[in-house]
Amino acid sequence: MRIRKIFAPVILIAVLASCNPLKQMQTHQNSMKESFDAGNHNQVLMAFNQLENYHETKESSVSLDYIKMAAKSALEVEKYTQAEELLKKWKSKSDDFEAVKLLGEVYQKTGKNDKEYNLWSENFDRIESEEMKKEIGSRLFAIEMEKKEYNKALDRARKMPPMSDPKIVFLRVQALEATDQTDEAREVNNALLKKNPEFKPALEWKAGDIYERAEKWYKAEMSEYNKNPEYTAYVYLKRELKKISSMYRQSRDIFEKLHQEKPGNEKYIKYLKNIYLRLEMREEATKMDMLLKNQR
């Protein structure tokens, strides 16, 4: 009987503590803090779920600090759907730029380009770091290129600091070409190759550009000569064909280099076959023709 009298108050206190709503909330909050500091992000999310359930029963809201912890933890363990939802809550409750930054990261990792584009378009002027402006500007530029909004992409490129990433610079070359600004595209591509002489997309573009210009010039000269095939016209044609042949050789040298690195690339083989024919290198043209037939 005496033992019961001693332990009864202790049991009562324990029961009362476990039933204390404030104590429950503090327990979940402490669990989140300790787990977050220890880098146990899955445990953070479990504790946050309990905290959310508590607040739902009380018709109250989880404080911002715990939403932040949960959002960062969800991002760490790649639970992107949950991270997106939590970051939106964080962003709606606070003007904290970190929420924008992390939400942009989630959108990029999950391929939600439209959402990423809209987010950064709305918040671009808030970026203070020049390095980050360059990074995000390049990302927006790349998305505009994916959407084939070439004029918009070029307007952005003109306002941005000089681009250094060859992949981004080459996107500008493609945008200029798509908007019939071929001369400027050629200038930008040549400048790109001066800094990155082995950058394959730019080498391929240069070789193709030289070839297309040579073809256009060759066909124009032959058409003009065929209208009036006299001796004087022939002499003039021969002189022009020397210049045109020089262009074909420039294109050939680049395509041969690219072909060596990727011998199965059908595009390179086709270009080389046509160039060899123009340069009257019939044996080489036949080899390219055989390669094409073997690929079919």
Local structure of residue 264 (DSSP, 8 states): T
pLDDT in tens, 171-186: 999 999 999 999 999 9
Residue 151, C-beta contacts closer than 8 angstroms, at least 6 positions apart: 179
- Answer yes or no: is 268 within a domain: yes
169 with 226, same domain: the answer is: no
Segment 254-267 mean pLDDT: 96
Find the distance separating the first CA and the last CA of the chain, reported in whole Å: 97
Asked whether the predicted pLDDT for residue 8 surpasses 80, the reply is no
135 with 223, same domain: the answer is: no
Domain boundary among 197, 229, 256: 197
pLDDT above 90 covers a percentage of the chain that reads 73
- Answer yes or no: is 4 within a domain: no
42, two tokens: 């899955």
160 with 228, same domain: the answer is: no
Identify the band that residue 21 occupies on the pLDDT scale cut at 50, 70 and 90.
low
- Answer yes or no: is 254 within a domain: yes
Domain boundary among 123, 144, 175: 123
Q: Output the domain CATH number for residue 269.
A: 1.25.40
Identify the band that residue 60 occupies on the pLDDT scale cut at 50, 70 and 90.
confident
Q: In the prediction, which pLDDT does 237 show?
A: 86
Q: Which long-range contacts (CB under 8 A, 24 or more apart) does 131-134 make?
A: 133/160, 133/161, 134/160, 134/161, 134/163
pLDDT in tens, 188-199: 999 999 999 999
- Answer yes or no: is 48 within a domain: yes
- Answer yes or no: is 185 within a domain: yes
- Answer yes or no: is 243 within a domain: yes
Q: Which residue has the higher pLDDT, 236 or 71?
A: 71
Residue pair 211/271 in contact (Cβ under 8 Å)? The answer is yes
Identify the band that residue 19 occupies on the pLDDT scale cut at 50, 70 and 90.
low
pLDDT in tens, 131-168: 898 899 999 999 999 999 999 999 998 888 888 899 99
At 36, which helix (H) or strand (E)? helix 21-37
How many domains is the chain built from?
Answer: 3
178 with 228, same domain: the answer is: no
177 with 222, same domain: the answer is: no
Segment 229-249 mean pLDDT: 89
Rounded CA gap, 148 and 138, in Å?
A: 15
210 with 224, same domain: the answer is: yes
Q: In the prediction, which pLDDT does 253 show?
A: 98
Q: Output the domain CATH number for residue 86.
A: 1.25.40.10
Segment 285-295 mean pLDDT: 92
Give one DSSP letter per residue of 108-156, joined into a string: HHTT-HHHHHHHHHHHGGG---HHHHHHHHHHHHHHHHHTT-HHHHHHH
Identify the band that residue 229 occupies on the pLDDT scale cut at 50, 70 and 90.
confident
pLDDT in tens, 100-127: 999 999 999 999 999 999 999 999 999 9
Closest C-alpha to 69, from 100, 44, 50? 44
Q: In the prediction, which pLDDT does 4 show?
A: 45
Residue pair 223/256 in contact (Cβ under 8 Å)? The answer is no
Rounded CA gap, 49 and 60, in Å?
A: 14
147 with 108, same domain: the answer is: no
244 with 296, same domain: the answer is: yes
Domain boundary among 73, 101, 123: 123
Domain that holds residue 286: 200-296
